[in-house]
Amino acid sequence: MVCYSFLAMPELPDVALYVEALERRILGRRLEGVRLKSLFLLRSAVPPLAAASGRTVTGLARLGKRIVLELGPGPRAGEPARLYLLLHLMIAGRLHWKERGAALPRRTDLAAFDFEDGTLVLTEAGTKKRASLFVVADEAGLAAHDRGGLEPLVCEFAAFEERLRGSRHTLKRALCDPRLFSGIGNAYSDEILHRAKLSPLQLAHNLEPAETARLFDAVRATLNDWIERLRAETGDGFPAKVTAFRPGMAVHGRFGQPCPVCNAPIQRIVRAENEVNYCPRCQTGGKILKDRALSVLLKDDWPSTLEELEER
């Protein structure tokens, strides 16, 4: 059985690394064809996927957590002058660069994009096939897939602050909302909030100006730091270990382990397939946040402070 918590969705730093690795391999190269092993992957009918064959890759980009391949004019008359392939890896989708014409023998293999110098293979672990591929004819069609979130590495502070003021979410949820901020998910939101020394359950619209500034700086510093770390790890290779649980992370996926800043045990709140990870000393003033399931079950036995937790 696949545990999705260990196959969390690639987020902004991971997708950025994929885009950079693909630029080195397929930018300016002709897409010879797409071999689709799983029909469920393709989520659009017009234009047809076959219209992508024979076109040259003229650009690559990140749209939220999606990867966009821009394709130039095709060899057949009457087809759109430009096409976009929009690929969303979702939770368990991963990309692999292999030799040209690589076979797709495994159950996890979904599709192969054949180029003259190699083949890009898309895989997806688990039984729930959530990854998707759209063929889009123009920029208007591409814009329809944009959730509207601000790009956190290039937006101005005023726009960032305005998004938070207009939200009625907790900080954790606000950072992960693609309508507010683009590309941030469960893992890096934990890291950002730890760096900003803010509670994940703090309401976004209630932040003090100094807290908003601290969060803005933490968003940029955290994402840029991880992009640089992943670049250093990958080098000229192709990203091979795309995961939301990395040894260098401060809190995400480190429940019970010591905080690298203050040594307090990292706590978590588990909800469905996601979990919130935080340091009670650095982020919540020593308060243990209630897990919706466990706190109801344990009632008075649920510790309310870090001191009470340490005593037990």
Q: Which two tokens stand for residue 13?
A: 């730093």
pLDDT at 306: 45
Q: Which CATH class is domain 157-311?
A: mainly alpha
* Coil, strand or helix at 104: coil
Domain positions in the chain:
4-143, 157-311
Instruction: Provide the CA 187 distance to its chain's centre, in angstroms.
Output: 8
Q: Which CATH class is domain 4-143?
A: alpha beta
DSSP 96: E
In this prediction the pTM is: 0.90
Q: Are 259 and 266 in contact (CB under 8 A)?
A: yes
Q: Which two tokens stand for residue 307?
A: 């001191």
Q: Are 34 and 119 in contact (CB under 8 A)?
A: no
* Coil, strand or helix at 26: helix
DSSP assignment of 245-285: --TT-SSTT-TTSBPTTT-PBPEEEEETTEEEEE-HHHHST
Q: Is the peptide bond before 75 cis (omega within 30 degrees of 0)?
A: no
Long-range contacts, 144-147 (Cβ 8 Å, 24+): 145/63, 145/66, 145/86, 146/63, 146/64, 147/64, 147/178, 147/179, 147/182
How far apart are alpha carbons 165 and 124 in whole angstroms?
38
Give every residue of the chain whose pLDDT is below 50, as ranges.
1-6, 293-303, 306, 308-312
How far apart are alpha carbons 10 and 198 in whole angstroms?
24
Amino acid at 16: A
pLDDT at 275: 85
Please enumerate in sequence order all residues whose Cβ is within 8 A of that of 213, keeping only pairs 6 or more positions apart, or say none: 157
Between 209-234 and 12-26, two packed helices, what is the crossing angle to 10 degrees? 40
Instruction: Provide the CA 124 distance to its chain's centre, in angstroms.
Output: 15
Q: Are 244 and 11 in contact (CB under 8 A)?
A: yes
Nearest alpha carbon to residue 65 among 182, 151, 152: 182
pLDDT at 272: 63
pLDDT at 297: 37
How far apart are alpha carbons 180 and 176 in whole angstroms?
8
